[in-house]
Amino acid sequence: MLIILPPSETKAHGGDGAPLDYTTLSFTELTDIRKDIAADLQALDVDEALAALKLSEKLRPEAESNQSLEASPTMPAIYRYTGVLYDALDAPSLPREALERLAVGSALFGVVRATDPIPHYRLSGGSKLPARDGSPTPTMKKRWGTAITDALTNVCDGEGELIIDLRSGTYQTLGKVKDAVTVRVEAIQPDGSRKVVSHFNKHYKGELARVLALSGEDAHSIEDVEAIATSAGMTVEGPKAGSLELTLVVTP
């Protein structure tokens, strides 16, 4: 199974790896688009980047880091991304075998595996990044076209892996996978009703990703995912007829 996580806006700086080498990244069929997006990102001066990426002045260092993204040090993607989900995942404590089950969606790289070395950058899935040739500014969805979908579909069909897609809606839109298992998080309210969890769904998805990554059993179906999560003490409801969406029920 391959568990795809959403990226985070916040990222760790630095790293002790060599500068970005596109040939070291998984899903090599995405290389040309990756290079094109990176070139457009580096072509912006800092003020242009602040405007295009809708960043405040206090985030100027983030925009500055984009200008040297191909020269700055790298670290494994799973350690580059930070925030609520990644705190719950606690990747540094995971063994190599667990990391091999993880991947991360990205506006810049499309999708990378957990151990792929990437630099610090700032670009979100909802951004409209100006093209350096002056042509009309495309959305990230248009830039990626079907490339991410095709790459991940090959994982399902060609390699026979089950994909558990924990990306947020914005990143799923960049490359939907028809046969992927998705997860919805609902919290039980004091009156017994349920409410879809917004911000903290990242925390619970991080916990779920950790459970799945550490599982002694591989998941080949949505029923397997449900069984692994349930055996770890999580409350999971199976999908409705014709759906591949599980519901993770939590008590805040």
Contact between residue 121 and residue 108 where contact means Cβ atoms under 8 Å apart: yes
Rg (CA), the chain: 18
**By 3-state DSSP, what share of the chain in percent is helix, strand and coil, each rounded to 5?**
40, 20, 40
Structure tokens that stand for 181 in this block: 């298992």
Tokens 């916990």 locate to 207
Number of domains observed in the structure of the chain: 1
Per the CB < 8 A criterion, the answer to whether 132 and 56 are in contact is no
Record the pTM.
0.95
pLDDT of residue 119: 98
In this predicted structure, the answer to whether residue 207 has a pLDDT above a threshold of 80 is yes
pLDDT tens, position by position, 59-100: 999 999 999 999 999 999 999 999 999 999 999 999 999 999
CA proximity to 156, closest of 176, 177, 172, 183: 177
* Burial profile 63-87: b = 16 or more Cβ within 10 angstroms, e = fewer: bebbbebbebebbbbbbbbebbbbe
In which region does residue 161 sit, left (phi positive, over 0), alpha (psi from -120 to 50) or beta (all else)?
beta
For residue 234, the model assigns a pLDDT of 97
The span from the CA of 124 to the CA of 45, in Å, is: 18
**Which residues, other chains included, contact 123 with Cβ-Cβ below 8 Å and sequence gap of 6+?**
37, 41, 53, 66, 107, 108, 129, 140
What element of type H or E holds 212?
helix 201-214
Q: Read off the pLDDT of residues 97-125 as tens digits, 9 standing for 90 and up.
A: 999 999 999 999 999 999 999 999 999 99
Pairing of strands 102-106, 110-113: antiparallel
Classify residue 126 as exposed, middle or buried by CB count within 10 Å of its CB (0-12, 13-18, 19+). Answer: middle
What mean pLDDT is predicted for residues 194-212?
92
| pLDDT value at residue 227 | 97
Maximum Cα–Cα distance across the chain: 57
Q: What is the pLDDT of residue 33?
A: 98
The pLDDT value recorded for residue 70 is 96
| pLDDT of res. 216 | 93
Domain that holds residue 58: 2-250
DSSP summary character for residue 35: H
What are 29-44's pLDDT values in tens digits? 999 999 999 999 999 9
pLDDT the model gives residue 137: 85
DSSP secondary structure letters along 180-231: -EEEEEEEE-TTS-EEE--TTHHHHHHHHHHHHHH-SS---SHHHHHHHHHH
* Assigned token pair, 46: 């800092």
241, pLDDT greater than 90? no
- Of 27, 106, 114, 26, give the one whose Cα is nearest residue 69: 106
**pLDDT tens, 129-182?**
999 988 888 899 999 999 999 999 999 887 889 999 999 999 999 999 999 999
Whether 199 has a pLDDT exceeding 80, the answer reads no
Cα 177 versus chain centre, distance: 14
Which pLDDT belongs to residue 121?
Answer: 96
Read off the pLDDT band of 200 (50, 70, 90): confident
